[in-house]
Structure 1
Amino acid sequence: MTSEHLIQDKIRLALSRNQCTVFRINVGSVRLPDGRYFKTGVPSGHPDLYGFRWSDHQTFYIEVKTSTGRPRKDQVRFHEFLTKRGVIHGIARSPEDAIKIVDEGLIGYGFKQ
């Protein structure tokens, strides 16, 4: 099975070749000297990739999953948030899925089985 990281790299390349700008989300946490954790990044459940189409500057979000991967509860909540606002987004298991989501302006692709 192909790793999520490899799928993500292929999607970023495919979308970039498809007249889109794509950004990868980086998150992390650091333990402070007093024992507390400092978290960086975006809200819980935020999709792995986001970007915009060059043609109309329309924003999109892509959650990358393997062929058997399933969205977590926080990812489903973020999906519901984006759906209510009519934002292009979906789960991509391949570069072809990602291009379909972006080109067709799909909202929630892959979340509803």
Structure 2
Amino acid sequence: MRSEHETQRQIQVALSQHKCSVFRTNVGKVQTIDHRWFDTGLPQGFPDLMGFRWVDNQIFFIEVKSKTGKPRPDQIRFHEFLASHNVIHGIARSTKDALMIVDGGLCGFGYD
């Protein structure tokens, strides 16, 4: 079984080859060498990938999960926020899922 990280990388490549721009997002805090905490600035639950389709400039968000991975409560809250604005987003467990979400303009795929 492939790792979540490897699936994420494959999705990035597939979407980039599919007339999309896609960016990996990093969420969380890290401690600097001088022991200060650095926050990435993105809200908790922000999806792993974000991008836009070149054909219509529609933005999309992809949360990458393993075959058995489940969204955390903060990810569900972010999904609810995106859904309330009818933004293209979903959980992708494969490149096929990601392409289906983006091409289909799906809102909330995989969160049910």
* Category of TM-score, reference length = shorter chain: over 0.9
8 Å contact 2:27–2:46 — kept in the other structure?
no
TM-score normalised by L of structure 2: 0.93
Query: Structure 1 stretch 63-72 or stretch 24-33: which is displaced more?
Result: 24-33
RMSD (CA atoms): 1.6
8 Å contact 1:20–1:52 — kept in the other structure?
yes
Cα displacement (A) at 1:33: 7.9
Q: Return 5+ residue gaps in structure 1 as ranges.
A: none
SS of residue paired to 2:67: coil
Cα displacement (A) at 1:12: 0.3
Query: Structure 1 stretch 34-43 or stretch 47-56: which is displaced more?
Result: 34-43
Name the counterpart of 1:65. 65
Cα displacement (A) at 1:39: 1.3
Change in Cα spacing, 1:32 to 1:100, as seen in structure 2 (3 Å) is closer
Query: Structure 1 stretch 5-14 or stretch 39-48: which is displaced more?
Result: 39-48
Cα displacement (A) at 1:37: 2.5
Query: Structure 1 stretch 71-80 or stretch 22-31: which is displaced more?
Result: 22-31
Residues 34-49 of structure 1: pairs in structure 2 closer than 5 A: 37-49=37-49
Change in Cα spacing, 1:103 to 1:36, as seen in structure 2 (3 Å) is same
1:56-107 CA distance string (max 9 Å, x none): 0000000000000000000000000000000000000000000000000000
Cα displacement (A) at 1:29: 2.4
Q: What amino acid is aligned across from residue 68 of structure 1 in structure 2?
A: T
Distance 1:33 1:16 in 2: 35
TM-score normalised by L of structure 1: 0.92
Change in Cα spacing, 1:34 to 1:14, as seen in structure 2 (3 Å) is closer
Distance 2:22 2:33 in 1: 35
Name the counterpart of 1:95. 95
8 Å contact 2:92–2:110 — kept in the other structure?
yes
SS of residue paired to 1:67: coil
